[in-house]
Amino acid sequence: MVACTKYSTASKITWDDFVKHSKTPLFFFNRDFLEYHADRFEDCSLMFYEGECLVAVLPASAHGKELVSHGGLTYGGLILSSKIRAEKVLDIFSSLVDFAKLNNFERIIYKSVPYIFYKQGAQEDAYALFRHDATLYRRDLSSVVYLNNRMPLSKGRKWLIARAKKHSLTATTSENWLQFYDLLTVSLGKHSAKPVHTPEELKLLFSFFPENISLRVVEKEGALLAATLLFKFDGVTHTQYMATNDQGKEVGALDYLIESCIEESKVLGDEYFSFGVSTEEQGLYLNSGLISQKESFGARGMVVDFYEILSK
């Protein structure tokens, strides 16, 4: 039998150590990342034990009658032990559903982890979802560059990168979070959006995970022209944010910056360069301009799936 228990702060070291050695050891499953915005979410993370052995954890938050595999993460379902086998994952899901029922959750929202982050086969959860009559209710379309089999740059992208080189632009690393936030706010504001993170939160997360978070920028004469915030995983580099201004657009600053990050990622031995989703409205609207930009760098589609399990 698998026992399910709610996470408590006394289990922080145990949790983080388990994530580190799991099939999907992403740094944003660590407690320091999950809790930096604890004021926004009611944590309901779960730990699953077989006897005294921890076999899985689930970053989760409570949203009224919904148990969500964490509201503060783009994705993140069950994090499984590398030693676990399929039948045990079925037991874990049964334990999860029982927990939801006992705690009066009417449904479970489950966000699958994309395959590029697997260190081993890790889709036992997809089979368990099927066995529990889970419904695929949302599918976002993300974009990823296969660094060892990359599609070519578009002609327009090559032209803009060449233009940037003519202006002698260079990409550097920065820790000026306020300057980046100001640029990002203006850039997103043109699309009626705003950054998810504050400058203080970005600075805090960087202090927790300096090996995993990197701010890359292009400046000219002290002025910030373009920037991207990178999340670095084992084998994957992901663009969490990208931003530029009118001056940067004129000289191809963001194009040059992204291409330099892709090339650097390949040199460092990554397999994938991820751009994130280009869908809106629960996956029903595809932002054609946004995904076209990513595809022009040689990226192609990867889905991020959301499932619903009714637990009443």
| Segment 243-255, tens digit of pLDDT | 999 999 999 999 9
Measured between alpha carbons, how far is 158 from 273 in angstroms, rounded to an integer? 18
Map tokens 């600075």 to a residue: 203
Domain ranges of the chain: 3-133, 144-304
Q: How crowded is the C-beta side of 303, counted as CA atoms within 13 Å?
A: 11
Q: How far apart are CA 118 and CA 235, in angstroms?
A: 10
pLDDT at residue number 247: 94
| Averaged pLDDT for residues 55-76 | 95
**pLDDT tens for residues 152-191?**
999 999 999 999 999 999 999 999 999 999 999 998 888 7
| Predicted pLDDT at 194 | 84
Is 144-304 CATH 3.20.20.140? no
User: 234-269 burial by CB neighbour count: b if 16+ within 10 A, else e?
Assistant: ebbbbbbbbbbbeebeebbbbbbbbbbbbebbbeee
Is 102 a residue whose pLDDT tops 70? yes
Q: In which band, very low, low, confident or very high, does the pLDDT at 119 lie, cut at 50, 70 and 90? A: very high
CATH (residue range 3-133): 3.40.630.30
Query: What pTM did the predictor assign?
Result: 0.93
Measured CA to CA in angstroms, residue 70 lies from 55, 208, 301, 307 at distances of 19, 20, 24, 13
For the residues 218-244, what does the mean pLDDT come to? 95
- Position 82 scores a pLDDT of 92
Instruction: List pLDDT tens digits, range 242-291.
Output: 999 999 999 999 999 999 999 999 999 999 999 989 999 999 999 999 99
The tokens of 81 are what?
């032990």
**Fold matches, 3-133 and 144-304:** yes
Cα of 118 vs its chain's centroid, Å: 13
Query: How confident is the model at residue 38, as a pLDDT?
Result: 85
